[in-house]
Each structure stands twice: as structure tokens, then as C-alpha cells.
Amino acid sequence: MNTFGYIFRVTTFGESHGKAVGCIIDGCPAGLKLDEEFIANEMKRRRPGGVYASKRKEEDVVEILSGIFNGTTLGTPIAMLIRNVDIDSKAYEDIKTVFRPGHADFTYQAKFGVYDYRGGGRASGRETTARVAAGAVAKQILKEFGIRVIGYAKEIAGIRCEVEDYEKAFEIAEKNALRMPDEEAEKLAEEKVEEAIREGDSLGGIVEVVAKNVPAGLGEPVFGKLDAYLAFAVMSIPAVKGVEIGRGFEVSKLKGSENNDEIFIKNGRVAFRTNNAGGVLGGISNGEDIVIRAAIKPTPSISKEQRSVDWSKMEEVKIRVKGRHDPCIVPRAVPVVEAMVSMVLVDCMMLQGIIPRRL
Amino acid sequence: MNTFGYIFRVTTFGESHGKAVGCIIDGCPAGLKLDEEFIANEMKRRRPGGVYASKRKEEDVVEILSGIFNGTTLGTPIAMLIRNVDIDSKAYEDIKTVFRPGHADFTYQAKFGVYDYRGGGRASGRETTARVAAGAVAKQILKEFGIRVIGYAKEIAGIRCEVEDYEKAFEIAEKNALRMPDEEAEKLAEEKVEEAIREGDSLGGIVEVVAKNVPAGLGEPVFGKLDAYLAFAVMSIPAVKGVEIGRGFEVSKLKGSENNDEIFIKNGRVAFRTNNAGGVLGGISNGEDIVIRAAIKPTPSISKEQRSVDWSKMEEVKIRVKGRHDPCIVPRAVPVVEAMVSMVLVDCMMLQGIIPRRL
Amino acid sequence: MNTFGYIFRVTTFGESHGKAVGCIIDGCPAGLKLDEEFIANEMKRRRPGGVYASKRKEEDVVEILSGIFNGTTLGTPIAMLIRNVDIDSKAYEDIKTVFRPGHADFTYQAKFGVYDYRGGGRASGRETTARVAAGAVAKQILKEFGIRVIGYAKEIAGIRCEVEDYEKAFEIAEKNALRMPDEEAEKLAEEKVEEAIREGDSLGGIVEVVAKNVPAGLGEPVFGKLDAYLAFAVMSIPAVKGVEIGRGFEVSKLKGSENNDEIFIKNGRVAFRTNNAGGVLGGISNGEDIVIRAAIKPTPSISKEQRSVDWSKMEEVKIRVKGRHDPCIVPRAVPVVEAMVSMVLVDCMMLQGIIPRRL
Amino acid sequence: MNTFGYIFRVTTFGESHGKAVGCIIDGCPAGLKLDEEFIANEMKRRRPGGVYASKRKEEDVVEILSGIFNGTTLGTPIAMLIRNVDIDSKAYEDIKTVFRPGHADFTYQAKFGVYDYRGGGRASGRETTARVAAGAVAKQILKEFGIRVIGYAKEIAGIRCEVEDYEKAFEIAEKNALRMPDEEAEKLAEEKVEEAIREGDSLGGIVEVVAKNVPAGLGEPVFGKLDAYLAFAVMSIPAVKGVEIGRGFEVSKLKGSENNDEIFIKNGRVAFRTNNAGGVLGGISNGEDIVIRAAIKPTPSISKEQRSVDWSKMEEVKIRVKGRHDPCIVPRAVPVVEAMVSMVLVDCMMLQGIIPRRL
């Protein structure tokens, strides 16, 4: 269950304060010239250490251990290793027997009878490092087929950005600290974030990711639907509590005549006048942009006092979670959602035979 | 990809106007006394023919072909067969080369080069008949462990019901045509539905499903998370465009201090004061109610005129979709969401060893 | 676990004396004109009722319930139903609490706590009916790619046939009762079988199956090797106790210089002078004939007296297994091994993208 | 396809002359005190450098990167890394465009269009290092349940050892260079090996592995049969060309009355007088010793001259494969077969719920 995918399969490992995190990519097509700089750049996009991010210092250098020969993929497993460098577990020693509210401490103990209390262990957002590394490979494959997966923070702390041009939105978002597609909105959101920092609190938001130029025909009826697969992929990211495609929850308020996307002929091919469907009909891509949104909960680690339980004595206690938390994880979640969407698309394209086993 | 689940695996088959729909349940624990009446009753809950439902007349009699001996499950595959009886494909003959907007006609053709145009073929909601049959078996297994999965139409056409007591909400909902947990709201919604019928249009809504008494520890990190699995399961249902757990998309507007559920001791066990998490933390159940919502789009089949494409001539045409459509599929979607949630829970409990291979 | 395959997936169901056996084929390419007569003919090859076969009378009519429209596959699940007609469970009533030696009665009870004692239940060779039906579809797909899978009884009761020309061997074998590729050998084997019948005993043998014209490049390193997959497929057939590829167990006695197949150029392509490898190198097909053999144990049902245990009283008893058993199951196992090999090849060719999702 | 297993899942990576080989074990039960010394010892059993083994010098130090906390398994993925140290690719530079007979060079190129010619790349026996590391974890789990998996070289170069007491056979075998259970036979085999070395040739043999104290009830009908799963596991090992269970291919010559194992009561439990079945009936373990044999082909790397093809010029050439090959890989294959059998048993016991998710 630490493996994701059918043909393009990614298996990840690693605890937040363990020796390393990493992954094995199995099923990557042979013959891909792998651009390690691109991978490094994607890692940088997710990396901690930014203005509003965790102060943990991780260069996140990816060592590729296998599957590459003379710069080209062999079709064999690509193992990627990222050493954990800046580990400071002190903040966790004091609260090592207290379940942190909003975290997985209790549920891991309920499941496994044991958990690594240092920095969230396996349940930490650090696990997503490996996803971004794998996603960077997926993106390179997609690039060969003209497909681009881009994202941004659509909403932070209730401040929502309307987006008309996805490419432009991405461009703007990449340049600001909160990765929002509207600079004015971003300034307002920054104020909220700074307020949250002052209060020792945290904020949530919504990530929107768009895949452009996706061919029609991806997705497998009835339990491998593209949208179901995307929902699975995105909901598997820590802190995500909701996923929607196209108009998403708004469809509940629409009439069929409003929601149906009319079909027409464009340059001799079937196309849709609107994209309420978000690029998926009957679980299969329809050739329009895939549009997906994820609701990100506020980081559960807050320094405000909360009530919880010390399981070693089974007594109620008060807890303040110190450590180097992101006051708002939303910007750093963007490349993670992109990574998951990219992996899903590569996998579906391989299942459909559009991406061959060798390029 | 027509198979769902890891240990408790359900494979479905069947086109809307083909000979039959059905499923094979593999991995069902041995030693379960199967209550066929309960299955029949669940079928009835999803069945067409109600006041606001499709007028297709299907008794949906389930013939069990295998896996049962002397009324008890053998642990071998349970094959269930439901013959399609009331097939009337005439309405589809006239439009058999026209892609119906909002339907999967185009995407199936893009994928497979061919599609069964009669009533939506495999992409029809009729496919969910088999899910409900399988879900009825899952529910019986859950019952042995004191778990109950219940649902209702939380919202139809923008009319939303607040719910405090899930059990009571279910009880009320089961008694009205739109399966809403609030009778007054339901009356208002009925008006909307009748208006939609008059206009030849259709309506969407939101289904909420709650699983009560679920043990802590279900779900597999990191790509088999309970919420990811639920999202996958529910998003695989036709017409679902969004899924959320607990507070869902609302979390984007909350602070950590508002969203974190405080932990306390209740009857000597760890419990949570609130349930914003919807019963899942870090992808693993925490012992609280599992609460999940699905956004259901308005039925794409409407008799209002829409523009589309006739692929046989590759020309733009106008289309009115006749046939016996539900003006609002939301009430009939309720048992389908329940079925999917039930299957996920059984599967996770088997993975966790809580449900044994033989009862 | 009643599902076989990755892309071309077959799920079977059914007990020997239940209502029916059957299967769902998922992942079959769309656009295949299905020849139902060919399926019927394959069923006939496996059917009971022959000179030396079980006297159970089953026409094994295959009803196709889904996945076909206007005679062509839709790419959706193909459900196939074969009703059990000639059920006579009387012979099993007397021994219903006695574990039959060589049968799965004890192990099913150990696993599931319950078993269907009538005719072996799920563990009966009758289960293979569904495999042959699915294999008949696989064979039709292979035919589109010029691939043929043929088999025969290489050995019965120690009487072994040397084969030089596989096609010819198949032709001869199809014409005699024991399906042996050498008529004289077959006569000798018939004598052995008649002797076994007189003694109330049974005989084993070896089935050899050859796949001709298989492209190089099939099979997935390292845990999806073609030979591993074939071994899995063939060993899953009831009564098989050994599987070998190419020279098989003989390689243990060879030197590298004897066993290595020298490589040369034939018609501008790489070819092998010998085929000790049986068409597989490093787990991947090399373009030569795939040659696989299965050791078939003598039918465990014998009317000779054997000692066993009555589990209802936990006491030792003597048992004679009546019923309509095959004195030698080897000839009827031939089409089953062919079916499994065919499914493996289709699946590997789909994984490799050689067979597309639509023909 | 570089992943093995359903619940206890092992994913391996690495090329022979790449940076490292290794694996991720997913699904390992939580709460296991991991004995790293035991792992090191298993690595030693497979390690090159022995009297009759490859002279490559690899200490095969296993670095555990995750999944362990305070010496105990967390239930999260255990990543194991083994750096390749003694890499000497010179011998392969001269023949880098020549397909080595008996090797996977041609088939990898046919599949992937590219291959790592250095030491066999992914197809090298070096890949099995990771299997033995994972198997060492599996063995520790089995030990908690009193199960032991042991093996030896049953036959080398036609010299076969009869074995009566498996435990004793293992003990003897562990002490001699060829890992044979009979010292005299081993001396004879040593002579054969030395002769092969002189001739620049290589030898094959048969490995026998026995699992003792396995509970009844393991294995999943009908496509997850224990023997099918074992056959798959063992056939996936490089150089294996045949697999048999219990009496294996001999059953083809037996009568039912000879082959059926009679059932009796032993210490109040059901037991079998003989073990022709090799511990598996109907694909499910019967409580007797699991006995499995693998036919190992002679190492394809020989320094004798062979004919092959240089693909860069598409011309026939003569080749002598230098490098540091094992003249007989059989002894080093023993721990690999043991590892695979151990993983299968752990996986089946987890599927059956006998091994819980946490110890």
C-alpha cells in the first residue's frame, strides 16, 4: 500500500526523522533521457525553508541508484534516495507520549501498536518528497507527449482567486511566496499568514491543478475511472480533506441544461464549448483540460495550547506543538498535487498504450 | 478495472440494455449466513420506478449462482446475476450516432472505438445495480461487527439539510421520495423536481453517508489511506464530481486551532471532542463516525434541446434525449454510495485482520 | 484470488454441483469479432463424456451475458455463464464427512471451516470449464496476431512420445481418445487406462503445450517473468504438480556449452540454433517457440479402498470414492493448459502494448 | 513487476554494475524486533567469493533506511540498500554489442530497445541479493511462528542425493562448498566442478527447499494457490527452468492408489501417512512439510567459444565470455530459493490472518 499505480508504479519509503526518504519507480518507459536538473528543480519547489515554510534545512539531493544507463532509462526500476539531513528531534521528546491533535499519532498507534513520534514519522508531509521526485520523472514523460501539469493555490484562508488563463495563473503563482495566481490576493493572504504565525496558529486553502493537452480516452471503466483514480491520488496526500473535478461541488446546484457541456466540431475534431466536466466524462478523459481541486486543511501542528491525551498514563493533558511547522502548507502542497496528477496520467496513458514501454 | 478491492474484491459486468448485469464477490469470509431478503431489500432501495425515478420496470431479482452452500458462504466466489427485463432501446435508435452531452458516448468511442449506444451501455447508472447487490453482502458482514452504513440526500437543487443525529436523519429520509433527512426541506425540493420535470430538465445534489461504530486502525499508509480509498470508491460512481470527508472543503477556511479535533478520554478510551476529521486521521480511522459526502451532478439526460455532434457525418446537430430518465438521481444514488463505503470498510477490516477469512 | 491476469483479467466462479460455473473477462480488447462457434468447440475439447472421461453429461453451453454488441467486443467485461445440468450428488452424501485422499476436502475445511463436499465443490476440475471458455477468447485474440497455442499428452502412465513437429503432433493428438501425438504410443496407453479402470485406479501423465510465432520481448523483469507467469498459470490448474520450460529438469544434467542456445542471423533477424530455453531467456520471450510441460497427477478419485478420516467423529475410516471419475484426466487437461498459456500470452502482449486496447 | 507479494510486498531494484541493489519491504508486520546480524548472515550465505563462486568481492552490507524505530519494525516500508562495491566492467566492454548466449542481452534489447551490458545489468544474478535481504526478514517473521525454511543442492551435474531427514541434510549441506546434503556426493560433484572450471564450462543442478511446521489452510483458490504461488516465486529466480512440488514429475508415472497420501489421526489432529503431495492439496497447505524443487541451468557465462551475433553490425561472431563467473551457481541459488519460499509463506499467512499486522 506504499505502492501507487498499475503500470507506472511508484513505491515510497521513509520516516521524517529516519535516515532517508525515497522511492522506486517501476514501469518507467525505457529510452527516456532523464533530466536530473529538472528533478532538482521540482524538489526545490516543494522544499522547506521558504519565507512561510518550515525552517528545516533540506537540500533534498536526489541520488539515483538504478534504472539509468548513460543518462537514459533502462525500463528497469529507478531507485531514488534522498537523505534526511537536518534532523532535530528534540521538540518531540517532551511530547512523545502525547497524541498531537490533528495528527496521525493516535491512529498509527491504533493500527500498528507503535509509531515514530519524531516529526510525524511516516505520516509526515516529508513523505511527499519522494512523490515529487517520482512526479518529476512522470512530468518528463508527459512532456514528450506535449502534456503539461500545472498548479497553484486557488484559495488561502478564504481568499479565493478566479482564474481564466491557467498557464498565466501558473506563471504568476510561481513567483510569489504563497504560490497564488493573483498578486493582490496573495498580499492579502500573506497578511493572514503573518497573523497566524503571530497567533501560533495555521491556515488551510485549496490547490487547483490543471493538466493541459491530455488526449481523450484515458481512464478505465468502471473502477479505474480517471476521476476516481485522480481522487484517490490526491486524497492520499496528507492534509487533503476533499477533492473535486471540474465544477465539482457546484454541480449540486446546477440543472442538467446548465451543467452539460455542449459538443461541437473544432478543427475537424469533437470538442466541448464549456468544461464543467473538468475534462472527464463517464470516467474517461474527453480531450479538454483536466481540472482538479484539493481542499487542504490547516497544518495541525500549532503552538497554541490544545487538549489531548498522554497515552503512557492514559490521562488528559495540555499540549503545545513546537518544532518548525509551516503556518500554511498550501503553497508547498501545489507541486505534490501536480506530482500525483502527473503519475496518474502517465499510468493511464501506459494502460491505454499511448505511452509505449519504450520511447 | 472492473474489479474493486484488495481482499474483498467485487468484479461487475453488464450493459444497460444487454442481457444482464451482475457481479462476482471474491474474498467474502466463509461462514456467513446470507440473508437474501436483505439483499432484495437493498435492491429495492436503488430500484427504478419510484415517483421521481426512471419509469423502467426492473424487479432486479438477484440470482446467486455460486459460493453459497446450505445458506452459508463458502469463502469461494459469490456470483450474482440480475437479468435486464424491461429493455426498450427505441428511444436510442434515432440518436445512435449522436454523442449525448454530459454522457460518456464520446469518451467511450474515443477509448474503445465502439460503444453500446442503448441506454448508456456500460456507462449507464444501471451498472450500479451490481454494486448495490455486492454492497448488501458487505453490509451483512459489517453488521456482524456492529457497524452500520447509512445515507441520505443532504442537499438537492441547493436545498440543504443540517443533520445532527445521523440515525434519525436516515430514518426520516427512508420514508420520503427524495430521501432527504428533513421533511420540510424535502417538500421544497419536490417542488424543484416537479419544476425540472415540467421543463424537461434535471437536478443535482449532495449525498452524505455515515459509517457508525467503525474501529480505529483501518486504512493503509500511504497509498491505501482510508480516505483516499473512500474517495476512489465514491468518485467511481457515475455522476459524482466531488468527494469530501468530515468538514471537507470547509477546512480551507478554518484555522488549525478550529479544525483540530481535541482528544480526550471517554470510558477509558481515546476519543475526540469534535469530528471535523470525519473519522479519519493520517489516512487511518480514528474510531469516530466516518462521514463522507459526494456531489452528484444533474442527470445528463434531458429532453431540452442541446447542441451536439453526429459522428457518422461529423456534423453539428440538435438533440433531445428522450427515454425514461430520473429528473434527479440523488435519492437513488444514496444506496450506491452506501454500498461503496461498505465495501471499502469490509476490505480494510479484512486487510487489518479484524474481519477474519472465516466467521 | 479467483482473478487471473493484469490487463487481460479473468475472474471465475462456481462449484461443481452448484447452479453454474462461469467467468468475467475484463480487459479484452474492443473490436474483436467474437466467434461463438469456436468457443463452443473449445468447450467440447474439454467436455466430459468421452470414452475414457467422466460420464457426467454436460453440454457446457456458454451464455454470453455482456461485453458484446452486434457480435463485437466492447472493451467492457464479458460475462460467460455455463449452467451445471447433470448434477448427481448422491455418491457424495454417504461420504460427506470423510476427507477424500488426494482431494482438497481437508484443506478447504482447514482454511474455510466449511466445504461443499459435492463433487469437490470449488476444487473440482469442473472449475476449469470457465478457464477454457476464457481461453477460447484469448486464443481468438492471439489468432489475430498469428499466434497459435497447441498441446497434447506427451506422456501417460510412463509411455512417452518424442515429438519433432509440434503442429503435426497436435493434429494426430486431436484425433485420438487420449490426445497423444503418437498413435502407437496411444494404443499402449489405452491398454494401461483400461487396466486402471478395471482396477478402480487412475493414471497420471505429462501435458506439453507449445506457443508458436510468439514475438520476442514478452514478460516483465523480475517478478513478472514470462516463465514465472506461465509456471504460476499452469501450476494453478488442479492436479498439476510440476512445470518446466524448454529442456526443464534436464538442464540440471547439462553443461553450459550444451545448454546455451547459439545465436545466429536468420532472414535478417536474430534467431537461435536450438531451443533448450523453450523460448524464454531472462524471463522474456526470445521469439522461438514457447514450450512448457505440466506434470499431471493421477485422478485422486479412485474406487479402490483407501484409509482416511471421518471428521464428524474424528475417527479413522475406510473409503471408496464412487462417482463418475476420469481414469486419466491428462487428455482433458490439455485444453486447460492451452487456455492458461493463451491467457498469459494475451496479457503479456497487452502489457507490452503489442495487443492494443482496441483492435 | 519488480514487486512481489500481496500483503507482504517486496520491490527490488538495481543493476549488477550500477550503484546499488536493494529493496523495499512493504507490509511487514509492526512490532518485530529485527535481528540485523541474522540478515548479515543470510547475505553471507549467498555472497560471491567462495571456493567455487564468482570472485567478485562484495561484503553486501545492508543499510536499513526506514521502517525501523528503536530496533523494532513500524509496519511502514523497510528500505534496504546494498551498495555495489567491486565493479569491474572491463570484461564487458569488448563484447558490449554481442548477445551472450544463454543470457538476457537479446531479450532485454528486444523488449526495451536498450540494455546495460555490464555484468548482465538487471538480469544478473546480483539482483537476487535484494531477495535474500528481504527473505531474511521473512524468515524472522516465520521464526516467530515456529516455521523454518531450509534448503540444499539436491543434485549437481547429475549427482543426486537422497534425503531422509531434511534438518540433518541442511546441517550437512551448510558445511560444504557445494551445499550438498551428502558429503560423499559432494566430493564427486566437486570433481565435476573442477573439471568444468578447467574446461571453461559450467554445471547445473537441482535445489530442494523444505518448509517445516507450516499450518494447514494457506493458499487461495483458484488463482492464488499456494503451489502456483510457489512456482511463480521460484521460477522468477534467474536460471530456474523447472519447478516441482512433492513427488513432482514422478507423479506422471504413478497410479492414484500409489500417489494419494492416506489420511489418519495423529495426536488428535488430521495428518498424512506419506507426503507425495509435498504439503499442498487443492492449492492449500495441508500441514505437512512443503517440499519444492527447482531445476537450475548451468551458468550461461562460459569461457568456451560460442557463436553469436554482434547486433551493431548484425553479423555472426564468435564469443568467449570472460569475467568472474560461478562454474556452478547451484549452491548460491539455495538461499535465494529459501528466500522466495519464505516470502510466499509470510504473504499467505498474512492473507489468512495467521500473521497479524502487528506482532
Sequential DSSP letters for B99-136? PPTTSSHHHHHHHHS----GGGGGGSGGGHHHHHHHHH
Q: Is the dihedral of CA B39, B40, B42, B46 positive or negative?
A: positive
Tell me the nearest-neighbour CA distance from C164 into chain A, angstroms: 36
Whether D4 has a pLDDT exceeding 80, the answer reads yes
The percentage of chain D sitting over the pLDDT mark of 70, rounded to a whole number, equals 100
Q: Please give the grid coordinates belonging to residue A265.
A: 466540431
Each residue of A46-55: pLDDT tens digit? Answer: 987 777 888 8
3-state helix, strand, coil in chain C (%, to 5): 30, 25, 45
Whether B256 has a pLDDT exceeding 90, the answer reads yes
Most A-contacting residue of D23, D74, D82, D87 (CB-CB within 10 A), to test interface: D74
Q: Could you give phi then psi for residue D132, rounded to 5 degrees? A: -70, -35
Dist. CA B318–CA B305, nearest whole Å: 6
Dist. CA B273–CA B176, nearest whole Å: 32
Is C191 buried (19+), middle (13-18) or exposed (0-12) by CB count in 10 A? exposed
Whether C293 has a pLDDT exceeding 90, the answer reads yes
What confidence score (pLDDT) does residue A182 get? 97
Q: Please give the grid coordinates belonging to residue B348.
A: 480494510
DSSP A141-190: HHHHTT-EEEEEEEEETTEE---S-HHHHHHHHTTSTT--S-HHHHHHHH
The percentage of chain C sitting over the pLDDT mark of 90, rounded to a whole number, equals 91
Q: How far is Cα of residue A202 from the mean position of the Cα atoms in its chain?
A: 19
Residue A263 neighbours by CB under 8 Å, 6+ apart: A270, A271, A272, A273, B99, B101, B106, B307, B308, B309
Which residue reads 507541486 in cell numbers? A335
Each residue of C149-189: pLDDT tens digit? Answer: 999 999 999 999 999 999 999 999 999 999 999 999 999 99
Q: Is B227 on the interface with A (CB under 8 A)?
A: yes
Cβ neighbours of D295 (radius 10 Å): 29
What confidence score (pLDDT) does residue C117 get? 93
Q: Is D33 on the interface with A (CB under 8 A)?
A: no
For residue C322, what is the DSSP state? -
Whether A225 has a pLDDT exceeding 90, the answer reads yes
ipTM above 0.95, yes or no: yes
Spatial contact of A214 and B110, defined as CB atoms under 8 Å apart = no
Average pLDDT on B167-195 reads 97
pLDDT-based confidence at residue D87 (cuts at 50, 70, 90): confident
Spatial contact of D260 and C101, defined as CB atoms under 8 Å apart = yes
Q: Do C31 and B112 touch (CB under 8 A)?
A: yes
3-state helix, strand, coil in chain B (%, to 5): 30, 25, 45
Q: Please give the grid coordinates belonging to residue D56.
A: 567478485
Domain presence at residue B301: yes
Whether D54 has a pLDDT exceeding 90, the answer reads no
Spatial contact of A303 and A200, defined as CB atoms under 8 Å apart = yes
Average pLDDT on D75-85 reads 97
Q: Do A243 and B238 touch (CB under 8 A)?
A: no
What confidence score (pLDDT) does residue D200 get? 95
Q: Is B87 on the interface with C (CB under 8 A)?
A: no
Q: Do B260 and A224 touch (CB under 8 A)?
A: no
Tell me the nearest-neighbour CA distance from C70 into chain D, angstroms: 32
Q: Kind of pairing, strands B9-13 and B3-4?
A: antiparallel
Q: Helix, strand, or coil here: C156?
A: strand
Domain count for chain B, please give it. 1
- Supply the mean pLDDT for chain A: 96
Q: Could you give phi then psi for residue C28, rounded to 5 degrees? A: -65, 135
pLDDT-based confidence at residue A322 (cuts at 50, 70, 90): confident
Domain presence at residue D286: yes
- Supply the mean pLDDT for chain B: 96
Q: Could you give phi then psi for residue A245, rounded to 5 degrees? A: -115, 135
Whether A23 has a pLDDT exceeding 90, the answer reads yes
What confidence score (pLDDT) does residue C49 get? 74
Q: Do D69 and A9 touch (CB under 8 A)?
A: no
Q: Do A282 and B107 touch (CB under 8 A)?
A: yes
pTM of the model: 0.98
Q: Is the dihedral of CA D71, D72, D77, D82 positive or negative?
A: positive
Which residue reads 538504478 in cell numbers? A66
Q: Do A76 and C221 touch (CB under 8 A)?
A: yes
Tell which A residues from 52 to 81 touch D, by Cβ distance under 8 Å: 63-67, 69, 72, 74-79, 81
pLDDT-based confidence at residue C114 (cuts at 50, 70, 90): very high
B-chain residues near A225 (CB < 8 A)? 235-236
Q: Where are the beta strands (DSSP E) in C248-328?
A: 263-266, 269-272, 280-281, 284-285, 290-296, 306-310, 315-319
Domain presence at residue D116: yes
Whether C88 has a pLDDT exceeding 90, the answer reads no
What confidence score (pLDDT) does residue D218 get? 98
Q: Is B146 on the interface with D (CB under 8 A)?
A: no
Whether B49 has a pLDDT exceeding 80, the answer reads no
Q: Do A357 and C353 touch (CB under 8 A)?
A: yes
Domain presence at residue B178: yes
Dist. CA A138–CA A150, nearest whole Å: 13
What is the CA angle D54-D50-D300, rounded to 5? 30
**List of chains touching B (3+ CB pairs within 8 A):** A, C, D
The DSSP bridge partners found for residue C152 are: C208
What confidence score (pLDDT) does residue D113 get? 96
What confidence score (pLDDT) does residue C315 get? 96
What confidence score (pLDDT) does residue C125 get? 93
Q: Is B107 on the interface with C (CB under 8 A)?
A: no
C-chain residues near B22 (CB < 8 A)? 65, 79
Q: Is C139 on the interface with D (CB under 8 A)?
A: no
Each residue of D329-338: pLDDT tens digit? Answer: 999 999 999 9
Domain presence at residue D197: yes
Domain that holds residue D211: 3-351
* CATH number for C204: 3.60.150.10
Q: Which of these, B75, A280, C225, A152, lies nearest to D220 by C-alpha position?
A: B75
3-state helix, strand, coil in chain A (%, to 5): 30, 25, 45
Tell me the residue type at B157.
A
Domain presence at residue A340: yes
What confidence score (pLDDT) does residue D48 get? 80
Q: Could you give phi then psi for residue D198, rounded to 5 degrees? A: -60, -40
Each residue of A260-318: pLDDT tens digit? Answer: 999 999 999 999 999 999 999 999 999 999 999 999 999 999 999 999 999 999 999 99
pLDDT-based confidence at residue D350 (cuts at 50, 70, 90): very high
Dist. CA C212–CA C224, nearest whole Å: 21
Tell me the nearest-neighbour CA distance from C357 into chain B, angstroms: 7
Tell me the nearest-neighbour CA distance from B19 into chain C, angstroms: 5
Most D-contacting residue of B26, B348, B359 (CB-CB within 10 A), to test interface: B26
Q: Which of these, D111, B134, B199, lies nearest to C282 by C-alpha position?
A: D111
Q: Do A356 and C357 touch (CB under 8 A)?
A: no
Q: Is C352 on the interface with D (CB under 8 A)?
A: yes
pLDDT-based confidence at residue A89 (cuts at 50, 70, 90): confident
Domain presence at residue A74: yes
Domain presence at residue B356: no
Q: Helix, strand, or coil here: D55?
A: coil
Whether C55 has a pLDDT exceeding 90, the answer reads no
Whether D49 has a pLDDT exceeding 80, the answer reads no
C-chain residues near A6 (CB < 8 A)? 6
Spatial contact of A307 and A317, defined as CB atoms under 8 Å apart = yes
Q: Do B13 and C75 touch (CB under 8 A)?
A: no
Tell me the nearest-neighbour CA distance from A79 into chain D, angstroms: 7
Q: Is B221 on the interface with D (CB under 8 A)?
A: yes
End-to-end CA distance of chain D: 29
Whether B70 has a pLDDT exceeding 90, the answer reads yes
What is the CA angle B36-B37-B40, rounded to 5? 90
Dist. CA A236–CA A39, nearest whole Å: 22
Tell me the nearest-neighbour CA distance from D27 into chain B, angstroms: 9
What confidence score (pLDDT) does residue B213 get? 98
Cβ neighbours of A85 (radius 10 Å): 12
**List of chains touching C (3+ CB pairs within 8 A):** A, B, D
pLDDT-based confidence at residue B48 (cuts at 50, 70, 90): confident
What confidence score (pLDDT) does residue C48 get? 80
Q: Which of D11, D64, D112 lies closest to A11 in CB terms?
A: D11
State the DSSP H helix or E strand holding residue A29, giving kind and residue range, or none if neither. Answer: none
What confidence score (pLDDT) does residue B56 get? 84
Tell me the residue type at C209.
V
Dist. CA C96–CA D147, nearest whole Å: 32
What confidence score (pLDDT) does residue D322 get? 81
